[in-house]
Chains A and B, each alone.
Chain A
C-alpha cells in the first residue's frame, strides 16, 4: 500500500526523466544514504566496516565498471582483474612521485591509466565480437599480470615484488596505510563510490549510454543509425576500465594495504563477473546487489553453522560457497538473466499493484 505511485503525476519531461521518478524510491535512497554515511560509521563494528562494507563497496565499483562494458555495451570481458591492477600500480607510482598531492585525487586520476589500457586492449573489438573478444581480454589479463611482476619499476624495485601502501593524510587524518581507521577509509570509499555511481547513472541515461546499449542490442542497426562502432566500443572500454582502475586503486590503498600480482589475477576477473551476472546485467542497482551477495554469502556460510553450533571445516564452507555461487549463476541465467536487480524490480511491481495483482497492464 505504501509503495504506490498513484497521484504522482509528472508535469514535465524533466520530471519524467529524473533518475528516480517515484517519490518512495527517492525517500528510500535517501534513507540508505543516511544509514551509509551516518548510521554505519557511528554504530557498526570495525569488522563490519572493514571486512564487509569496504570490500563490498570496492567490488561494487569494479562491478559497475564491468557492467558498463558487459551489461550495457555487450562486450564480454575477462580482464577486469588486470585493469584493476593497472589502476592500483598507477596510483602507487603516482603517490611515489607526487607524495604531496592528495591521495584521493591520485586514486581518481589513476583510473585514467587503466582507461588507456582498456582502450588499447579494446581496439580488437572493432573486428572481433562476442566470445572471440572475451578471449582477447584474456590476453590483456595474462599480459598485464606478467607486466606487474616483470617490470620491477612498477613496484619500486621492492625485494618482495609487492607494493605497500604508504601512509597519506588528509587534514592530518591518516586515510591510507595501516594507521588509517576503518571508519575513515570507509567514509572516503563510500564518498567516491556514491559519486561515481551517480556519474555512471547520468552517463548511462544520456546519449552516450544509449549508444552503448544500441551497440549491445543490435550493432548493425546501431551503425546504420549513425553510431560509430569504434567510438562507442572504445568509449565503453575506456569508461569501464576507468571504474575498474579506480576500484583497483581503492582496493589496495583503502582496503588491503599491500598487493602483489596475485591480487589481480584472473580469479578476480571471474569474481567480478559473477557479481555482475548474479546482480543483473545492465543494471546499476544489480552491481551493488551482486557485490553484496557474492561478498557476504561466504561470510554468512561461515557464520551460520557456528550460530547453530555446527563445526564445519573452514575449507568445507569454501567449497560450499563455490557450489552455491555456481548453482546460482546457472539458476539466474535460466530463470532470470537480469539477476537480483530484476527480482527486486518484480518485487516492486508486485507491491505497486498490491492487493490487486491483476489491476495493471
Chain B
C-alpha cells in the first residue's frame, strides 16, 4: 500500500504543494528537450533525404563546437570562428558524401548505420588529435550570448529562467522556422522533399542526388554547430556529450524517423518526462533513472506504436 501511495499519490501531492517548483522542473525539462530535439532534427534531416541513419550526429555536435572554440583559442575573433566552423562543417559534408555515401548507395540501412559509426570514430579521433581531448568552455560571452537569469515570482515561490536557456529555445525555434522556409520556399528545399518522397522521381526532375546529400549533411552540420554552442554554454564542450546525444535516438522513436514536428514533440516529451520522473519518482528507484528513462520509454512506446507519433502505419509487402 505504501508503495502504491508513493507512486500514485505522494508525487502529485508534492507537485501541488510547490507549484513553482513544478514549473521549474517542467522548464528545465523543456530546455533539455529543446536540445534533444535539435540533435534529433539533425538525424531527421539526413534520414529524410538519404535514408541514412546518422549515428555520427552526436559527435558532429561535439566536433563542431570544438572547432569553434579551438579556432577562437587560436586567436580568431568569435564571429570569424563561427564562419570558419560553418565552412569546416561544409567540407565535412562534402567529404562524407564523396567518400562514404556515394560508395554506399543502395546498401542495406544497417550497413549505412554502421558506416556512420565508423565516421563517429574518425571524427572522435581526429577531433582529439587536432584540438586536444580536454573539455573546453564555450565562448559564450564572445558570441554575444546572454548570461544571467530572470526570476518569475509565482505561486508564492520563484521560477528561475536562465537567459541562455531562453536564447537556446529562441534559436531552436528560429532554426526550425528557417528549415521550414527552406523546405517549402526554396528550389533546393523542394528538391529535398522530392528526394525524400521518391528517389527515382527526383532523378527524373533532374536533381543530382549527390548534391542533395551534401546539402543535407551540411544543414545537419549547421544544426550540430548550433546545438554544440547551446549545450556547450550550459556546461562544457567535451566528448562526454556524445553519449547524451544518443538520447536523440529515443526521441526519434517517439517522433518517427522522418518527421520534423515529431522530432520536436518527441524531444520535449522525453526532456520533460525524464525530469519529472527523476525528480518526483527517481528516489523510489534509487535515483539516476534519467540514464535509461528515455530508452525504456521509447521501448515501451515501440511495442504499441512502432511507427512513432507522426509516422504512417507501415504495410509490409511481399
Contacts and interface: CB of A to CB of B under 8 A. Distances in A.
Question: A and B touching (C-beta < 8 Å)?
Answer: yes
B310 to A, nearest CB: 15
Classify chain A's interface size: 35 or more
Interface residues of B, number: 47
Dominant SS among interface residues on chain A: helix
B302 A127 contact: yes
A331 to B, nearest CB: 8
Contact of B117 (A220, A273, A320): A273
A319 B126 contact: yes
Nearest to B133: A315
Contact of A124 (B117, B125, B126, B302): B302
B302 A322 contact: no
Interface string B248-284: 0110110001000000000000000000000000000
Interface in B91-133: 99-100, 103-104, 107, 109-111, 113-115, 117-126, 128-129, 133
B125 A323 contact: yes
A132 to B, nearest CB: 6
A327 B114 CA distance: 12
Contact of A330 (B118, B286, B296, B316): B118
Contact of B121 (A130, A150, A266, A323): A323
A324 B129 CA distance: 12
A327 B129 contact: no
A206 B88 CA distance: 52
Dominant SS among interface residues on chain B: helix
Interface string A314-337: 011011111111111110011001
Contacts of B121: 274, 322-323, 325-326, 329
B295 interface: yes
Given A131-B110, A138-B249, A220-B316, A327 B302 contact: no
A144 B21 CA distance: 31
Interface of B: 53, 99-100, 103-104, 107, 109-111, 113-115, 117-126, 128-129, 133, 243, 246, 249-250, 252-253, 257, 285-286, 288-289, 291-292, 295-296, 298-299, 302-303, 306, 316, 318
Given A323-B126, A326-B121, A326-B125, 5 more contacts: A135-B302, A136-B298, A141-B295, A146-B292, A333-B107
